[in-house]
Structure 1
Amino acid sequence: MALTSVDVVSFGYLHGTPPPAGVILDLRLHFKDPHVDPSLRDLTADDLPVRRAVLTTPGIRELIAATALVADAYEAGPIEAPLTIAVGCAGGRHRAATVAMALANRLSKTGVPVRLTHRDLDKPDADRP
């Protein structure tokens, strides 16, 4: 067992630089932002409508599965060490937090300790350029 633990951190690029991580997923350009839907804008990944919107976005489930495979590759490595996977979107309240939740849930089934942190989930909505 090469992974001693996995930290999954969600964050928003509009709230600062990405946290230090071995793997960073940037969801901003490839996946629709639920923020554009006025009914979802003031909600977060703590709310079922946001999670449903994100998890039904084409490609998201495949990205979660592929990222789990990346963690498996680190697990197969010869040196024991923790792994941090950072998941970012614009504000860190919708896409990143939802994907981080789903990824942490999936990885927790492997037996490696997983810690989920949402850096920006509770911050005010970030202004979009």
Structure 2
Amino acid sequence: MARVEITSFGYLHGAEPDARIKLDLRHHFRDPHVNPELRHLTAHDQAVRDAVMATEGVEQLVQTAVDMVAAFLAGPRQEEPVTVAVGCAGGRHRAATAASVLA
């Protein structure tokens, strides 16, 4: 059985990781960083997780990623690892929350 690896990252912090599936949350999903109450929090804080998951389209994106992983695992190269990299600008809010939910 292949290994599934999920990572989150911030595009502002260097090169994006190598991954079979990449989800870029920068442009289509609200950034909690713009909210002064959430700016200094992270995905470890419930208020951030709630804000990210309440954003229209995020739950559907996570479910689509689950389906994509399942498709790769069902393919002819089942022994190869499937890496999913979820990125946003800073990597502390959107990407970390979505990666956590995906995991």
- Report TM bin, short chain: over 0.9
Write the mapping of 1:33-52 to structure 2, written as runs, cut at 5 A. 33-52=31-50
Q: What is the CA–CA distance in structure 2 between the aligned matches of 1:88 and 1:17, rounded to whole Å?
A: 11
The alignment's TM-score, normalised by the length of structure 1, stands at 0.78
Q: What is the CA–CA distance in structure 1 between the aligned matches of 2:25 and 2:31, rounded to whole Å?
A: 9
Unaligned 5+ residue runs, structure 2? none
* Cross-structure match for 1:20: 18
Q: CA deviation at 1:42?
A: 0.2
* Cross-structure match for 1:74: 72
* Cross-structure match for 1:95: 94
Q: CA deviation at 1:89?
A: 0.1
Write the mapping of 1:2-21 to structure 2, written as runs, cut at 5 A. 4-21=2-19
Q: Deviations over 1:50-109 (max 9, x none)?
A: 0000001000000000010000100111121101100000000000000000001xxxxx
* Cross-structure match for 2:82: 83
Q: What is the CA–CA distance in structure 2 between the aligned matches of 1:56 and 1:101, rounded to whole Å?
A: 15
Q: Deviations over 1:94-128 (max 9, x none)?
A: 00000000001xxxxxxxxxxxxxxxxxxxxxxxx
Unaligned 5+ residue runs, structure 1? 105-129
* Cross-structure match for 1:54: 52
| Larger proportion of strand | 1
* Secondary structure of residue in 1 paired with 2:3: strand
Amino acid at match of 1:56: A
Equivalent residues, number: 102
* Secondary structure of residue in 1 paired with 2:22: strand
